[in-house]
Amino acid sequence: MNYYIVFQNKSFEVEPDLEGVLEGDMIFTYIGGTIVSVGTVVKGAYPSKEPSTLDVQYEWLESKLSVKPIFSKIKELLGKEPTPFTKQGRHAVAGSLHRLNQECGQFIIERMLIS
């Protein structure tokens, strides 16, 4: 299982790179400093000449997960990987998927269960 996050703070016309997103992968939705939903991919994207789409079943969180209190732990888990959570990834475009490593994805799931 892979973990992804999509930042929805701004609206852009973006064709996200969906290649490699598989059935069972999880996608966190981040809006305004909080993770508001988690989606499970029920049909993955496969490389083709046509635009790919994912079939994702989203569950909106009753208790949104604020990232600010856990930000330092997320940065620690990501290490030097460039993601929108790190300085190297600040160029990331809102609306596109960003892969998280296993440790970070599992930590976010654990924090969602606690809250």
Total of domains in the chain:
1
- The model's pLDDT over 45-80, given as tens digits with 9 standing for 90+, comes to 665 555 566 788 999 999 999 999 998 999 889 887
Predicted TM-score (pTM) of the model is 0.79
CA distances (Å), origin 107, targets 12, 16, 17, 39, 65: 29, 25, 24, 16, 12
Question: What CATH code is carried by the domain that includes residue 33?
Answer: 3.10.590.10
Q: Find the domain containing 76 and state its range.
A: 3-114
Q: Which residue has the higher pLDDT, 8 or 6?
A: 6
- Residue type at 7 in one-letter notation: F
